[in-house]
Amino acid sequence: NEKEITADIERALEELKKYPDLQRLVISDEEAIDLSNDESVLVMVDYHKPSMSISQAVYDTFEKIAVIDHHRRGDEFPDKPLLTYIESSASSAAELVAELIQYRAARKSLLPKFISTALLAGIYVDTKNFTVRTTGRTFDIAGYLKNQGADTSLVQYMLSTDLDSYLMISELVSRSKHFKEDIVIASADEDRVYDSVTVAKAADTLLSINGIHAAFVITKQPGDLIGISARSTGKVNVQTIMEGLGGGGHFTNAATQIKGSNIDEVEDRLRNELINHDQ
């Protein structure tokens, strides 16, 4: 979806141009629909709720579906998927995908450098540079990707923050207020639309402040949606809080999107959910 390309993705796509054989595999939703046939399989990666699909038309086109996800399974789920690989203990969907590749690939074959680097970048993002939700398996997979040619300097480049994004993150952080001594809520200006990556980075920044164990960032997002990005050090279960608002995720990393509301109303709902969570 070209309308939702962030600076991070733009840098990755620019790097992808060095690999023409891989670049041609990146197609639009219209192309996916045109190329599909009765044998085609849609693989849902890093999500399992059909309503979260980038293109509902693409999802509706495919009858054969596979799911690879590290989020706890919710009530909304595809009907009769061909494959369901959900492992909530994994650090990231990138870890699961790399694990599948490791088991299926020939020992002598190497992954293209871009693929191994992109998968390692996915693990970096979800583990906050290997500081949360890591297991021995996470480091094993990271080692495998490094041996496959993953470039850590390229990971840092693709995940770096440009000045405009940094200023937007700083603005969100400056709007934070204490709900409790160790919980903060940052609500953005109603007139400004934020991408999900910037919001997630703002929540991560708030969580890095000494004494803060949970952070919630509320912003307006594309498509007339109000989004909440939630982060926790592990002392607050943000997953159940976001599930109470129609979202989901992990114990320390979760989110939700609410349609037909405004930021003040969503903040009130969040505060009520936090109060109920404490009871």
β 83-86/225-232 pair status: unpaired
Q: Which two tokens stand for residue 155?
A: 């990971």
pLDDT tens string 19-73? 999 999 999 999 999 999 999 999 999 999 998 898 999 999 999 999 999 988 8
Tens digits of residue pLDDT in 60-90: 999 999 999 998 888 899 999 999 999 988 9
Three-state DSSP state, 54: coil
* Mean pLDDT, range 260-275, rounded to an integer: 95
Which pLDDT value is given to residue 105?
A: 67
In the DSSP assignment, the letter for residue 79 is S
Name the band, by pLDDT with cuts 50, 70 and 90, for residue 263: very high
In 188-252, beta strands by DSSP E: 214-221, 225-232, 248-249
Please report the domains of the chain, with CATH numbers, ordered by start residue. Answer: 2-159 (3.90.1640.10), 163-278 (3.10.310.30)
Span 206-243, pLDDT tens digits: 999 999 999 999 999 888 899 999 999 989 999 999 99
Q: Strands 176-180, 183-187: parallel, antiparallel or unpaired by DSSP?
A: antiparallel
**CA torsion, ordered 86, 90, 93, 97, to nearest 10 deg:** -90
Radius of gyration from C-alpha coordinates of the chain = 19
Measured CA to CA, the distance from residue 250 to residue 170 in angstroms comes to 25
Average pLDDT over the chain reads: 92
